[in-house]
Each structure stands twice: as structure tokens, then as C-alpha cells.
A and B are shown apart, each in its own frame.
Chain A
Amino acid sequence: GAGVSQSPRYKVAKRGQDVALRCDPISGHVSLFWYQQALGQGPEFLTYFQNEAQLDKSGLPSDRFFAERPEGSVSTLKIQRTQQEDSAVYLCASSPIEGALYETQYFGPGTRLLVL
């Protein structure tokens, strides 16, 4: 079946520009996560949705970062007034079971953002 998809795969933005990154999770998956991965580092948590509810946004680095999942499926991560330090790979992951004893997160291929 189809996995998690993300678009665009690559984005070049000029400093100060706004960008929007899209995530299509696996159909029916309740949980959705966004991670940021800097070069040479492991992914770091940004925010978590359970259906349409954003339950944890503690990892968002500043108020320039905003995420939404209005209908509980597709999610968009928006970065306003991009800065060079925002350059990273942005990963989306989804998982199927709410309140499970354990869960497997399925990751998309990521969006590589380069801010010039």
C-alpha cells in the first residue's frame, strides 16, 4: 500500500520567504508527527497531532513555525519569514493506533529545505 508521502521533496527559499510543507499520512492513521533533521544529526521532534487535534507542539523552535491538520488526514507545516538556520530536512511520520501499548511510526521521505 501507499506509504507516507511528502511534498515538495526539495525546496529552496530566500531568507524571509514563507514556505509550506505538505504531509500525506497513511490512510486511517490517527497519529501524525513532524520532525526536523539537521545535517549529520538525528531527527528532532517538532509537533504531534492525534486526528485533527495538535496535542504537543513543544518542539516547534519559534512562533514562525505553525502546523495544522484540519481534517485529521493531510498536514501542513508552515514556516514564516524563513531564516538560514531553518535549513534542514523536515520529516513527517504517522502511526495507526491510538493509545496502543506500543506504536510503530512510519516515516515519509522528507522535504529538504534550503534557505539562502
Chain B
Amino acid sequence: DAKTTQPPSMDCAEGRAANLPCNHSTISGNEYVYWYRQIHSQGPQYIIHGLKNNETNEMASLIITEDRKSSTLILPHATLRDTAVYYCIVRTLNQAGTALIFGKGTTLSVSS
């Protein structure tokens, strides 16, 4: 799986949008971008994934650049409960049963 690069930490004011960047310059054409987050003392939680089109669900939006070398996870209205470590992961298509490879992620701190 391709390596990803994320900033170690970010701050965000409550109610504002949190934009978390991820670089994956060596991504292959059959690799998806996944985002998970881990709230303190909990296991990681799936957020969203995408291949090349922008995606949105009830938790977040994922914007993938046209060359697919980077992406941004957007939490449109961050709350205190969004404080967590956010992991960007790339995985090959049709790779069920293969482990997720986590980096160190980005620690997002949301403050009031």
C-alpha cells in the first residue's frame, strides 16, 4: 500500500470547518483513500472512503485532487466530540481481508 503523509496536529474552533490534508503521491490507480478516526480510549472508527470522485456522507466530505496525489477530509461544522486522531490510509481495490496500515495520523483538537 502507498504511504501517506499527514501533519501531526491541527487545531479548529468549534463550529468551524476542519480541513485535514493527506498526501499520497505514490498512490496507484487501483488504490482507494480511506479515512478513520480514533477518539481517546476508543478503537478506530471508519469515516469515509473514495477512489477519485469527491464523496460525502453524514460524517464528512472527502475531496480528492484530480491527479489523486492528495486529498482533504472536511468536517463541515466541527464539535468538541470531533477531537481525535485522524488517519488517512490507502488500500488496494478488492483487498478484503488485508490489514489497514496506519501511520501516526493527525491529532485534531477542537476547542470552544
> Which residues of A does B touch, CB under 8 Å?
4, 31, 33, 35, 40-45, 48, 50, 55-56, 59, 91-93, 95, 97-110
Contacts and interface: CB of A to CB of B under 8 A. Distances in A.
Contacts of B99: 33, 35, 45, 48, 56, 59
Interface stretch (B19-27, B41-49, B64-72, B75-83): B41-49
A43 B93 CA distance: 21
Grouping DSSP codes into helix (H, G, I), strand (E, B) and loop, the A interface class, with mixed when no group exceeds half, is loop
A53 B20 CA distance: 38
Q: Lowest 10 A-B CB distances belong to which pairs? A: A42-B102, A107-B43, A45-B99, A104-B46, A103-B96, A100-B96, A107-B44, A43-B102, A91-B43, A108-B43
Interface string B76-108: 000000000101000101111111111111000
A10 to B, nearest CB: 10
A44 B96 contact: no
Nearest to B100: A105
Contact of A97 (B32, B93, B96, B105): B96
Contacts of B94: 99-102
A4 B87 CA distance: 20
B42 A109 contact: yes
Nearest to B99: A45
A105 B46 contact: yes
B96 A102 contact: yes
A102 B98 CA distance: 10
Contact of A101 (B43, B85, B93, B104): B93
Nearest to A58: B99
Contact of B93 (A99, A102, A105): A102
Q: Which of B44, B91, B102, B104 has the most CB atoms of chain A within a 10 A radius of its CB? A: B44
